[in-house]
Amino acid sequence: MSVATALAPLSSLNSQLSKPFTTALPAASFFEDEEVFFSDDDEDIDSIFNGPPPSIVVIGATGGTGLRALQGLLDVGWEPSRIRLLTRNPDAPLCQALRDKLGFKIFEVDFDDKSDENSNRLRMALQGCSGCYVHALGSDTRKVKKGVAGDRARSLAFDIASQCYGNNKFHVVLNSAAGEPNHGVNRIQEMHNIERVCNEWKNIRLTSLRANLFMEEFWKTYIRPSVCNKGKFSFSVPSDRSIHLTSVRDMGKLAGTVLLRDIILKNNDSDDSSSSSSSRVMNVAGDVLTAEEIAAVFAKAQDSPCRHSSGRASAWFCRLFFRDLYQIIRFYRRTTETTDIPKLQQEFPGLLTDFKSFLDETDWGNPDLSYANFTDVDRLLSKSPRP
């Protein structure tokens, strides 16, 4: 399904929205230079809804790049107090910081726990919520455990269904992955399995945001040190191979926008609400560059030379010892999947990030920063969308 048919133009909703949600971090909630989804008039947000502003559940965003997705939700106006974070470890320092410093609501839920007690906690978290953003249902590890994501999705779907009555549908937005049917990647297949499970339930309406290569991956130890210290971008694709790139923060922006758009249409009993009753799938990317062009953008951001290396030796190493990682390498060498970025920009004006802007926003040129800084709540959630 094309983006145009999947989502009605957001501009048609601007007249229905007045003042944006008042977040705990005003600097992170607005774009200074671009037209945004929310206008800045004098009417209070409460007047838009028949009752209190809605809440949403967010799953799998309490570690690593998940904070980037939370930034995106704040960017488009969601208040931390209206976001319920599900985690198996609510006492972790990161979760405590999100709760105590920023006002996110934390719920302890373990999707591998089949007990009634855990199920009750999940239902309590879902109660009264208007939708859900699933950032992840599995850990970000080299080895993919087949079937785990699908099993966790079934637990989630069952308890969501228990919250719905009659013809009501619960809107789930999923962080999925772009890939043609014969992609051959276990990690991508696990995400598509979650899509399949959600679509089996008539009480769930799924919007699947299929990301391409996350820009945040370049901050990890297998890429960033070599780029910054050796001027070598090792990525096992030909230098002229085009790569679609997605910011995790943009996934949060789009998820938050889609969920709020649906809420407003339902709240206003809009005739357009019937057109959004089916599931949707859309590829998401903010930029497309060749590997050689990516190296050039790195060089400019860090003010030092950088060249692309196809890294065939590392690809063979992964083929021998890290099969799941090798599948991903092979996928990027062969995939024919594309994303219509101009169409996406038309539907979500001002919400997509190109690669240069991503490097500037995340301070790529700062040698003191590493991937570990992505779990720094104070740093990440207090930065403005544009430097």
- Structure confidence by residue, pLDDT tens digits, 219-230: 998 889 999 999
Which has the higher per-residue pLDDT, 324 or 3?
A: 324
Instruction: For residue 376, tell me if it sits in a domain.
Output: no
CB 306 within 8 A of CB 232: yes
Instruction: For residue 377, tell me if it sits in a domain.
Output: no
CATH of the domain at 132: 3.40.50.720
Instruction: For residue 373, tell me if it sits in a domain.
Output: no
C-alpha to C-alpha distance for 224 and 231, rounded to whole angstroms: 10
pLDDT band per the 50, 70, 90 thresholds, residue 232 = very high
Q: Say yes or no to pLDDT of 59 above 90.
A: yes
Q: What is residue 26's predicted lDDT score, i.e. its pLDDT? A: 27
Average pLDDT, the chain: 79
How many residues does this entry show for the chain? Answer: 387
Residue with tokens 């790569």: 243
Q: What is residue 147's predicted lDDT score, i.e. its pLDDT? A: 52
C-alpha to C-alpha distance for 144 and 211, rounded to whole angstroms: 18
Instruction: For residue 226, tell me if it sits in a domain.
Output: yes
The vertex-223 CA angle with 217 and 225, nearest 5°, equals 125
Instruction: For residue 380, tell me if it sits in a domain.
Output: no
* Alpha-carbon separation of residue 381 from 66, 248, 348 (angstroms): 11, 14, 22
Q: Say yes or no to pLDDT of 319 above 60.
A: no
Where does residue 125 fall: left (phi above 0), alpha (psi -120 to 50 degrees), or beta otherwise? alpha
C-alpha to C-alpha distance for 376 and 287, rounded to whole angstroms: 26
pLDDT band per the 50, 70, 90 thresholds, residue 353 = very high
Instruction: For residue 379, tell me if it sits in a domain.
Output: no
pLDDT band per the 50, 70, 90 thresholds, residue 323 = low
Q: Say yes or no to pLDDT of 13 above 90.
A: no
C-alpha to C-alpha distance for 14 and 97, rounded to whole angstroms: 33
pTM across the whole model:
0.83
CB 209 within 8 A of CB 255: yes
Which has the higher per-residue pLDDT, 244 or 312?
A: 244
Which has the higher per-residue pLDDT, 13 or 166?
A: 166
Which range of 109-113, 141-145, 276-280, 295-299 scores highest in mean pLDDT? It is: 295-299
Q: Say yes or no to pLDDT of 31 above 70.
A: no
In a 13 Å sphere around the CA of 120, the CA atoms on its Cβ side amount to: 3
DSSP 8-state assignment for residue 26: G
The vertex-179 CA angle with 316 and 217, nearest 5°, equals 60
pLDDT band per the 50, 70, 90 thresholds, residue 189 = confident
Which has the higher per-residue pLDDT, 312 or 186?
A: 186
Tokens, residue 159: 């308890």
What does the pLDDT look like over 116-156, one tens digit per residue? 898 889 889 988 888 999 998 865 544 445 556 777 888 88
Residue with tokens 């991903």: 328
Which has the higher per-residue pLDDT, 7 or 217?
A: 217
Q: Say yes or no to pLDDT of 291 above 90.
A: yes
Total domains present in the chain: 1
Residue with tokens 């410093």: 101
Tokens, residue 109: 């839920």
pLDDT band per the 50, 70, 90 thresholds, residue 166 = low
CB 67 within 8 A of CB 374: yes
Closest residue by Cα to residue 308 from 203, 372, 236, 357: 236
Q: Say yes or no to pLDDT of 284 above 80.
A: yes
Q: What is residue 262's predicted lDDT score, i.e. its pLDDT? A: 86
Q: What is residue 222's predicted lDDT score, i.e. its pLDDT? A: 84
Instruction: For residue 273, tell me if it sits in a domain.
Output: yes
Centroid of chain to Cα 361: 17
Strand 287-290 to 242-246 pairing: antiparallel
Q: What domain range includes position 266?
A: 3-368
Which has the higher per-residue pLDDT, 244 or 11?
A: 244
Q: Say yes or no to pLDDT of 17 above 60.
A: no
Instruction: For residue 185, tell me if it sits in a domain.
Output: yes
